[in-house]
Structure 1
């Protein structure tokens, strides 16, 4: 009889197996918050012999806190473990025309520090200075960074973001990752808004949605089957480049649709109708002006018709089911939203609900925190957008 020789287990496989088990313990503890070792065994399916050294290591690392004994069903006290969300911190960074906003959050997504910094000098230098300073003594617990950019992001490189000085592709994510030594994910700011609304806002109860964000430009964030979709080149949702006629071409990173129907375009028309300073909220000002001015009312009707055509065009291709109005579009009053809904319902091939986004400026950072937590949880070392 020939003996069967079992090949030795690869050290790499052993380390990978240990990490998987470690992550399962962290995940179970995060979900339960407070539990006993016996309950942890039940949740993970790991034997007490396997679990004991993992728990010991996680206590030493700060993931688990050992509390006093609690009562058990048998009446005997059990040592209680409590999950510590501060053991893993993430940073969310939003690039804006005149500043960057940075937040540090724990693994629950709770923000523990926030700062805005005027955008001067090199963006990478600014991020790599602001994040460690904001993290402070918690820097060793930093597990990931998510960066929101108002442009197209592919593999961590940002382009078509003229408002922050990034028209040609620049590997912002790779540069920040190399200097900070943690996983970095980079994505379009509107994608992050959609992720934020899906995680904690007006899209939390659906798996499919389109977020239409109107600002100086117009962009869309798409969530299908619970996942943000970006397209092969990272440019999915660049609806501001929708051509209005054959001669239309994008110029200097500005698309023809957004050149005519963005917040900036609305502001110009409002100033023309009611001379004075540019209003802080042009769409809201237009709605108010339309109540008493026929020309403003006619322009508002044209604006709603244009936005409706854009929404219907998207619905014909992706059938999102729900459309969230973000940025200046969220400044429409209830009557205008109802008119927009009616226009969409009359032309869309399937039921498409239109409602306002609810997180406002916080949507980007909610999405960025979600991305960074996903990067930390999966231990990403590549510059891929998190699911």
Structure 2
């Protein structure tokens, strides 16, 4: 018999093992919502001896609520456990041109508090003021913060976001994290939209998708194998900078493609075709005008061809299988979407479905919930982690 002693297990390893088991219980309960201890044992693979103290702990923390006995076809009905979505709160912060908004939501994505203000003063100070005020006495339930910015984000720093005053790489994520002491994720707003559509929208049934968002600029969010892909420097999806039009020129942080084919560009053309005030929904206005004005119909053809060309360029590189049209692009009517689909189909090397995104303004919130809960569980390697 060997006299070599077995080294004691590491306390850190035991702690991490228990954290993984705890998260498994939370994730299973969150997914099923109402279940018995026996069902929880089956779902997690944990023994009753391991599960019992975890369940007791989660009941005391408010994650699980004990309910009465459920129905049973045989034997004594089992006591049920219900997951409490209010036990996990997340903060979703959106930086937009001229304003900042903050929403507090539970793990279902239900908003319980909201505030919007003009974008002025220091961003970090504003975020760190809004969140505690909105959360109030439930601060202990706050699991994470997700900050969406219209620029390039890497390691919690944001750059090339001139519309919100962030041109150089300012570490807003690290600053907020140090002040609040909870996990903070900072990402491009379109990445959050893609995550939201993947979690709870038009991409919830697929592992791979590309979300094309058309607004003041044009950006794309990419989900591959169920994960948002950001690139080495956080610049993945900056498709507005693609040089697809030889005559187009970008300026002041605006890419050449988006300078010509963004919502702003469409609005300018619509006003030129029908002088007056800028329409609230330029794409809808263009489609309506195209029904009676040949020049508008010709421009709509150009616009759809340009957006289809952009989609084809992306598909040839990443083969997402599904492309979601977001922002102003989601305002296309059925006929226009079908035309984009036809243009894409005739040019791509693999089958690609084009459809509208469905969450609209709620996409960022659902993406933030997904991000923040993953951050709290240690599932996002790119987040700004709590030291």
Structure 1 length normalisation: TM-score?
0.92
The equivalent of 1:172 in structure 2 is 172
Alignment of 1:67-86 (within 5 A): 67-69=67-69, 75-76=75-76, 78-86=78-86
CA drift of 1:117 comes to 2.4
Flag the 1:46–1:326 CA change in 2: closer, same or farther, 3 A. closer
1:203-282 alignment to 2 at 5 Å? Answer: 203-244=203-244, 250-282=250-282
Instruction: Check whether the contact 1:183–1:379 (CA below 8 A) recurs between aligned residues.
Output: no
The secondary structure found in structure 2 opposite 1:220 is strand
The aligned counterpart of 2:5 is 5
Structure 2: runs of 5+ lacking an equivalent:
none
Maintained 8 Å contact 2:325/2:354: yes
Matched with 1:147 is: 147
Cα pair 2:174 2:384 within 8 Å, conserved: no
C-alpha distance 34-341 of structure 1, shift in aligned 2 (>3 A) = closer
SS at match of 1:358: coil
User: Who is 1:186 aligned against?
Assistant: 186
Q: In structure 1, what is the Cα distance between the partners aligned to 2:205 and 2:80?
A: 34
Counterpart-to-counterpart distance in 1, 2:71 and 2:297: 68
The whole-number CA distance in structure 2 between the counterparts of 1:254 and 1:320 is 25
- Deviation of 1:156 after TM superposition, in Å, equals 0.9
Distance in 1, matches of 2:3 and 2:352, equals 67
> Match of 2:135?
135
Distance 1:183 1:299 in 2: 47
The residue that corresponds to 2:357 in the other structure is: 357
Range 75-84 or range 315-324, more displaced: 75-84
Equivalent residue of 2:346, what SS?
helix
> How many Å separate the matches in 2 of 1:47 and 1:172?
43
1:176 CA drift (Å): 0.9
Distance in 2 between the 1:222 and 1:381 partners?
17
**Contact map agreement 1:197 1:204 (CA 8 A) in 2:** yes
Provide the residue aligned with 1:295 in structure 2.
Answer: 295
5+ residue gaps in structure 1? none
In the alignment, what sits opposite 1:64? Answer: 64
Deviations 1:3-48 (A, max 9, x none): 3422222222222222222222223333343333344334333333
Aligned to 1:200: 200
Call closer, same or farther: CA 1:192–1:121 in 2, change over 3 Å: same
Distance 1:312 1:34, change over 3 A: closer
| Residue 71 of structure 1, CA deviation | 6.3
Counterpart position of 2:163: 163
Alpha carbons of structure 1 residues 178 and 299: separation in structure 2 relative to 1, 3 Å: same
Give per-residue Cα distances to partners, 1:70-120, cap 9 Å, x unaligned.
566664464433322222211111111122222222223333223322222
Matched residue, 1:117: 117
Partner Cα separation in structure 2 for residue 352 and residue 135 of structure 1: 42
Separation in 1, partners of 2:201, 2:286 = 27
3-state DSSP of counterpart to 2:153:
strand
* Alpha-carbon distance between aligned partners in 1 of 2:157 and 2:81, rounded to the nearest angstrom: 42
Counterpart-to-counterpart distance in 1, 2:163 and 2:120? 13
Number of residues of Structure 1 aligned to a counterpart in Structure 2: 385
Q: Does 1:369 align with 2:369?
A: yes
Distance 1:62 1:269, change over 3 A: same
Instruction: Quote the RMSD (CA, aligned, Å).
Output: 2.3
Give 1:260 shift: 0.9
**Corresponding residue SS for 2:220:** strand
Q: Residues of 2 paired with 1:382 and 1:355: CA distance?
A: 29
Are residue 55 (structure 1) and residue 55 (structure 2) matched? yes
Asked if structure 1 preserves the Cα contact closer than 8 Å seen for 2:209 and 2:222, the reply is yes
1:352 Cα deviation from its structure 2 partner? 2.1
Identify which range, 300-309 or 213-222, moves more after superposition.
300-309
Q: 1:169 to 1:4 in 2, by over 3 A?
A: same
Whether contact under 8 Å (1:177, 1:184) holds in the other structure is: yes
